[in-house]
């Protein structure tokens, strides 16, 4: 089980709740907008090879200070302060959706902090022909359905993945409004906040992973990140939707660990 660390930043303006487990090179995991945060089986797997830090972003769980952040750049700079407070000078950074957008910005704004970069269905670009789903306008039922792969079934998932899916679906409704309030500040009205102007600064070896059945942000966006980040590798995961790291936890963890190692 991970330990919970509470860190005060900027004289108490921020209280960060961070989960930590494992040993080995440091790995910072930044969760997405909705559907998964905290700890999950794929992080257990990664903690066998890495020291995993999984903070709750400001506005999620007990991490506060959201009102002190005006935009995505503020949120990105906050991550550097958090790493400094944790005593981590450089880490592998893995991020999903909103967390992926932050991870890419970290690698662009201050490349020295990021060893290798893994972006799982990251936000950050925009196509009028293939719009990213508007999470704020979706009903609870639509959101519940679209987070998962329509191709997934109990036959395609390991028992651990299936159990994690069931727990996550049960918790989603309870946290939905808090999560969307925090995420909307950085994703609304569209998630294009200028990364394409800064991506040339990303020096970290990068892996972009997408679920082939992602109905929140279509897999075609993987092409954008492959073009923006020099040398980026792309992996499209079969039988997985937006929450690919939950639906296919074992495959996801193996893919990430192989790349980072």
pLDDT 10s digits, 181-205: 999 999 999 999 999 999 999 999 9
Q: Rounded CA gap, 156 and 120, in Å? A: 20
**Helix (H) and strand (E) counts for the chain?**
9, 8
pLDDT of residue 153: 46
pLDDT 10s digits, 88-125: 999 999 999 999 999 999 999 999 999 999 999 999 99
Q: Provide the residue ranges of all domains of the chain, joining segments of one domain with +.
A: 3-260
Q: Residue 52: which pLDDT band, with cuts at 50, 70 and 90?
A: very high
Alpha-helical regions (H) of 12-97: 41-46, 72-86
Place of tokens 């302060």: 81
Q: Rounded CA gap, 199 and 151, in Å? A: 33
Degrees (nearest 5) of the Cα angle 180, 40, 43? 115
Phi-psi category of residue 146: left, alpha or beta, with phi > 0 → left and psi -120 to 50 → alpha: alpha
Q: Rounded CA gap, 142 and 26, in Å? A: 37
Q: Rounded CA gap, 252 and 237, in Å? A: 8
Place of tokens 């936000």: 123
Using the CB atoms, write b or e for 31-69: b if 16+ within 10 Å. bbbbbbbbbbbbbbbbbebbbbbbbbbbbbbebbbbeeb
Topology of domain 3-260, CATH: Rossmann fold (3.40.50)
pLDDT 10s digits, 138-155: 988 888 889 988 754 444
């Amino acid at each position: 089980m991970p330990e919970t660390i509470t860190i005060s930043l900027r004289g108490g303006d921020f209280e960060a709740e961070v989960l930590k487990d494992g040993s080995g090179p440091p790995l910072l995991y930044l969760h997405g907008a909705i559907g998964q945060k905290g700890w999950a089986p794929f992080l257990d797997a990664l903690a066998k090879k890495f020291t995993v830090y999984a903070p709750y972003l400001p506005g999620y769980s007990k991490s506060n200070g959201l009102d002190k952040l005006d935009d995505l750049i503020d949120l990105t700079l906050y991550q550097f302060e958090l790493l400094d407070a944790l005593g981590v000078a450089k880490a592998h950074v893995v991020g999903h959706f909103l967390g992926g957008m932050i991870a890419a910005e970290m690698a662009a704004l201050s490349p020295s902090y990021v060893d290798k970069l893994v972006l799982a269905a990251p936000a950050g670009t925009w196509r009028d022909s293939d719009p990213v789903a508007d999470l704020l306008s979706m009903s609870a039922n639509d959101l519940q359905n679209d987070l998962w792969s329509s191709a997934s079934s109990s036959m395609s998932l390991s028992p651990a993945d299936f159990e994690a899916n069931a727990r996550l679906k049960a918790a989603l409704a309870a946290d939905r409004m808090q999560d969307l309030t925090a995420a909307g500040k950085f994703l609304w009205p569209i998630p294009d906040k200028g990364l394409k102007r800064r991506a040339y600064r990303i020096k970290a070896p990068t892996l972009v992973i997408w679920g082939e059945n992602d109905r929140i942000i279509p897999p075609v966006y993987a092409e954008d990140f492959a073009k923006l980040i020099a040398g980026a590798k792309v992996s499209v995961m079969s039988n997985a939707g937006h929450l690919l790291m939950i639906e296919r936890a074992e495959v996801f963890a193996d893919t990430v660990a192989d790349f980072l190692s």
